[in-house]
Structure formats: C-alpha cells, structure tokens
Amino acid sequence: MWTERVRVAEDVAPSDWLAGRLTGRVGTVVGTVPDAYPAYARILHPVDSRDGRPPQTWARVAEVTGRRPHPTVQWHSLIGTTDPWTRETDDWPDGDPQQGNLALPPLLALCDVLAARTTTPEDCYFALWEGWGQLSGGRAWLRLTSDGSRGVEPPPLLTPREKAAPRLHLPGRDYYLLRGPLSAMADLAQYDGPEMCWTQSPNLFWPADRAWCVATEIDFDSTLVGGTPEAIAAVLAAPALEAWRVEPGDSLQSDADVING
C-alpha cells in the first residue's frame, strides 16, 4: 500500500450487504448506490478548465449555455449536444467534469460532512476498481528533468500479496476492498504521492455501521450518496459541493435529461 493508514482487506465479507441492495437498473441511483436509505444526493463533479483556472460549477456552465441545471442533468445536454460522448461544444469550449473521479477538495469536504454522521468514522471500507492501471503498474507518465523529458513507469502500488487478495464482486465490476479511518481519505486518494496533481477517489466507501454509502461509478461525472435525511441535508448544504437531491429510481443514463434534452 502507498499509505500505512489503510490496508487491503483479506476478507470481503463486510461488503456482502452491497450486492443485495443494488436493486435498480444499470444507470439508476439504486443501481449504483445501495437502496433502502431514506434519502439520496447527487454531487456534480467540478468542471475542470482547460487553462488552469479554478474549477467551475455546472450552474455556471448553464448560465453560459442558456440551459438549466437540475437533479438528473446530463453534461452533453447542458452544453448543447445530443452526443453523450462529446465533452465540449461551441456553446461551452472550456473544459468538462471528470468521469469516475471526485476531485480531492470536494471529496474531503464530503468526508468532513459524513464523518459527523456515523458512529464509526475510524472504521470504514473503501472499494477501488481493479482496472485502475496505477494499482498494478505499467502506467507511464512524462517527467521533466534537467536533461529533458523522459518516460517514468511507476512501480505497482499494491504488493503481490495485496493483489492476490479476494475481490468484491458487483455487477460488471470487481474491486479491491480496503479498510481504515475516514480521515485517511487524502492519503488514499493520492495514489501517485502528494507531489502529483492527479488523484483518484474510491469507487465506493462506507462506514462499518453503514450509516451512509458513497458511490462514484467509473463512467459517471457525478457521485451518489445514500444516507439519513440529516446526512443528505448536510451534503446539500455544504458550500464546497454542488449537490442535488435525487430519488432512488432516478436514471442518470445519457437520455435522462428531459429538460435540456
């Protein structure tokens, strides 16, 4: 592991509850985050600007494009195209939200909100999709040196024993299961070390008491939270989060935006 505060679980039984509670169709709220929570929220991922300016909100994009943000808004519809794979248009040529990753500042803001809404903040589970290249090595980047640019291939972030650990199996995805305190999130999300700008949020995380659960599907540009009404109200009120209340059966598929459609 790249941090000593979190360890790979050798027993995935604490995650068995998830599969039976992902009851919705693929692309729906409870097809992504467990059902039976009293309330749910959708957090829109910040819009990364191309020129390095601070991230922008979807609400700001809507002001520019003349469209409307709402609980099931879809990025391509917000920027004026029917093609769900298009990330920029003439209406909005200035960056897009990350898919499959909630950036570190809103991720930590979310953890601050949720830490107060569980009895077990020191005992949490984190699920990481096994397909992330940095976990097994072989993902290279360019690093500038005094002698010019050179390719750097980082070592695998998991040891052979950790990679051999049992996986959490959910429909369409397999995950490594990790365990540690919620306060370790910053260390966990910075796979490549604090000197790198790139981070990766867990795909799922929840406390041992299951008071809430957070899911970031790798193909979504938003993160879902299920929890108590009080927890969801706190998420919606957090200034650092652009969040909307959603219903369990709401679709987040590419055709879900019937307002900006």
Q: To which H or E segment does residue 111 belong?
A: helix 104-115
Q: What is the pLDDT of residues 111-134, one digit of tens each?
A: 999 999 999 999 999 999 999 877
Question: Does a structural domain hold residue 255?
Answer: no
Q: What is the pLDDT, as a whole number, of residue 188? A: 95
pLDDT value at position 52?
Answer: 83
Q: Is 256 contained in some domain?
A: no
Q: Does 211 reside within a domain?
A: yes
Q: Any idea which residue has 């930590």 for tokens?
A: 108
Examine residue 261 and state whether it is found in any structural domain, yes or no. no
The reported pLDDT for the residue numbered 151 is 53
195 lies in some domain: yes
Give the 3-state secondary structure of residue 59. helix
Counted domains in the chain: 1
Does the model's pTM come out above 0.75?
A: yes
pLDDT tens digits along 189-241? 997 654 555 789 999 999 999 999 999 999 999 999 999 999 999 999 999 99
Residues 138-184 have pLDDT tens digits of 554 555 555 555 555 556 788 889 999 999 999 889 999 999 999 99
Is 45 contained in some domain?
yes
Q: Is residue 162 part of a domain?
A: yes
Domain of 242, in residue numbers = 7-246
Residues in the chain: 261
Q: Is residue 59 part of a domain?
A: yes
